Amino acid sequence: MAFNVITKKITMPDGKEITIETGKLAKQADGAVVVRSGNMMLLATVVANQTPKDGVDFLPLSVDYQEKFASAGKIPGGFLRRESKLSDYEVLVSRLVDRALRPTFPSDFHADTQVMINLISADAEVLPDAYVGLAAAAALAVSDIPFNGPISEVRVAKINGEYIVNPETSILKDAELELIVAANANDILMVEGEANEVSEQEMLEALRLAHAAIKHQCAALKELEAEVGKTQKREYKHENHDEELRTYLWDTYFDRYYEVAKLANPSKKARRESFKAIEDEYFASLPEDSTVNKSLAKWYFHDIEKEAARQLVLIERYRLDGRKLDEIRTITCEVDYLPTPHGSAVFTRGETQSLTTVTLGTKLDEQIVDQAMVSGYNRFLLHYNFPGYSTGEVKPNRAPGRREVGHGNLAMRALKKVLPPDAKNPYTVRIVSDILESNGSSSMATVCAGTLALMDAGVPIKAPVSGIAMGLISDPKTGKYAVLSDILGDEDHLGDMDFKVTGTSAGITACQMDIKVDGLSYEVLTEALEQAKQGRLHILGKMQETIAEPRSDYKPQTPRATVIRILKEQIGSVIGPGGKVVQDIQKQSGATVTIEEKEDGGYVSIFSANKAAMDIAVKMVKGIVTIPEEGEIYDGVVKSIMPFGAFVEFLPGKDGLLHISEIKWERLEAMDGVLEIGEQVKVKLIEVDKKTGKYRLSRKVLLPKPEKK
């Protein structure tokens, strides 16, 4: 078979090359491409139905990213040994693409659309998540699906003071700042990332560099679209409107909606009821034989309500709940709310509330990570739950959805930057945020509650972290705009931006931004970042009124932990044949003991809620790894008695000969009745035989020498 293959090569400003190939694989899809960088290859496909389902007035878009284990020469773990449902990491990458693509489709396009991106070849030095947006946009470019693109995504990191686009994996671990940025040729669409307490200016500099790289890729995608001959997209008509009805409703009811919005009611429920009363009044006024399309009427009422709330902000310069543009809702904080967990906090901001717990576990509680490109263990977990009752809704209790995974990941990235390093933190840390009420920015409430719970648990974090969600309402016709601090759920829905920023008093630790309109200038972005900083510091102050720093000690119910660093060659001695030694330590002490090998040596972690058990285990481990030194004094135990002396265990697993002549200053003729097996005896190591390694002990040198008569 002859393939009509078209290849587009993109040479980035730093010399890296990306190739896009279409026409060979998955030709029955509406659009399919293979994107390659190094040995990393992504297959991206897109398919959209020709007509929408009846009654659908939104874009049913699904985006799925999956890493094939074969791409990295691996076989999946688990019982089935095959790829199953998407991992949390794959869900997070899917969200990155979805958030960039969704606002770029025409607002009146409602056909079922599916984007699938598969990692089919891996490269250890090329992270595929930086290329998935480019791959998805390329698949759309070579299709006839309507799309207001192109768009693309890149990773930008600040490493050793230098900003780098799509850095190699091996150097990314040293990044002070790391962002995934999506944009079109004119505007930034989406940002997500983390940082080591960087400044707002550093964040803006990274965005500028990322956008410059994306513009380069977007230009190449336009050229590819023309080469494939897909500049003309399919015709569609997915909406049928009644312009007469729309005009009547806007003319009749807009002012009434605006007056309700001006009431500045702080209650979400009360506002909803007031707006709904206007809609209900209209439908009640209709005659029974009315031919008015009620679905369209509800659609138009929704648009009227949205525009009334937006105009309130732009004209009156205050918001639906009466707050000023930069005003933060009332905040209350409480720690140690739950008596049994290792740490707990309740954080309430307006009508948003998080009950968060911290659990400190052992190394045995680590999460096993089994991905195509990453295998290992994770010692910091943050789980976010969003039950239906938090918004007064009836919702089945199912596994966490993509939203819950995404919100939890953002909070995790915000807090992991202030956790103590592994060498100083022997615990596996799990934070669980249960959202009990929600009206805007529950993920930022999770960050604040998580910080409080960590400090309540006594975890020695570097600094407390707070978070805030910023919004934007703009009118391109008049040029007016308003940046909103601590947005409501309604403001998230009706606004043009959702910009979440977390950080300490020293700088930003994580961010997530979604833009819903064209034309967000860097001036507006700068203003939003500065306003966010002031809001973060205000929230941080409220938190520190409750607890200013981590508790000086863990709570009584928290398992105590200590870590002993040993030489690599001593690891086998602690473990013993078949694990016999470490099992014996745990049996005798009652503590939990784990051993981990790292580049700089071995690490023995000991956990116990009982101090006596901890002390026994520590003593036993130190006894095994301690190197006997001549001249040192030890507390020994008699293990066996021979005619010429006794063998004494002076360190665990280390026996020495206490010769009959070294027991007392007086001459002993025999060992009968001198010592007993199991008797404790203090001895001094007087010699280590250089040839045999045997130990010679003495007891008499520790006794007063009799005076000569």
pLDDT value at position 642?
Answer: 92
> 533, 200 in Cβ contact below 8 A?
yes
pTM, two decimal places: 0.88
pLDDT value at position 709?
Answer: 58
Report the range of poorest mean pLDDT among 484-488, 538-542, 690-694: 690-694
Backbone angles phi, psi at 82, to 5 degrees: -150, 160
What is the rounded distance in angstroms from the CA atom of residue 420 to the CA atom of residue 429? 11
Q: Which two tokens stand for residue 590?
A: 């009652």
- Detail the residues annotated as belonging to a binding site for Mg(2+): 492, 498
pLDDT value at position 217?
Answer: 97
Q: What is the DSSP string of 466-517?
A: EEEEEEEEEETTTTEEEEEES--HHHHHHSSEEEEEEE-SS-EEEEEEEE-S
Mean pLDDT of 412-438: 93
Please report, to the nearest 10 degrees, the dihedral formed by the alpha carbons of residues 664, 665, 666, 670 taken in order.
40
Say how many C-beta atoms besides its own lie within 10 A of residue 63's C-beta.
23
Mean pLDDT of 381-404: 94
pLDDT value at position 393?
Answer: 92
Report the range of poorest mean pLDDT among 41-45, 591-595, 598-602: 598-602
Place of tokens 């192109």: 150
Report helix, strand or coil for 235: coil
Residues 6+ apart with CB under 8 A from 579: none
pLDDT digits (tens, 9 = 90+) for 660-700: 999 988 888 888 888 999 999 999 999 988 888 899 999 99
Compute the mean pLDDT over every residue in the chain, rounded to the nearest whole number. Answer: 93
Q: Which has more pLDDT, 605 or 511? A: 511
Percent of the chain topping pLDDT 70: 99
pLDDT of 239 over the 80 cut: yes
Say how many C-beta atoms besides its own lie within 10 A of residue 589's C-beta.
22
- Detail the residues annotated as belonging to a binding site: 492, 498
pLDDT value at position 627?
Answer: 79
pLDDT of 472 over the 90 cut: yes
pLDDT value at position 134?
Answer: 98
pLDDT of 601 over the 90 cut: no
Q: Which two tokens stand for residue 359?
A: 């659990």
* Local confidence band at 140 (pLDDT 50, 70, 90 cut-offs): very high
pLDDT value at position 102?
Answer: 95
Q: Which has more pLDDT, 690 or 394? A: 394
* Local confidence band at 1 (pLDDT 50, 70, 90 cut-offs): low
pLDDT value at position 517?
Answer: 81
pLDDT digits (tens, 9 = 90+) for 302-349: 999 999 999 999 999 999 999 999 999 999 999 999 999 999 999 999
pLDDT of 423 over the 80 cut: no
pLDDT of 424 over the 80 cut: no
pLDDT of 708 over the 80 cut: no
Alpha helices in 102-242 (DSSP H): 132-141, 169-172, 200-228
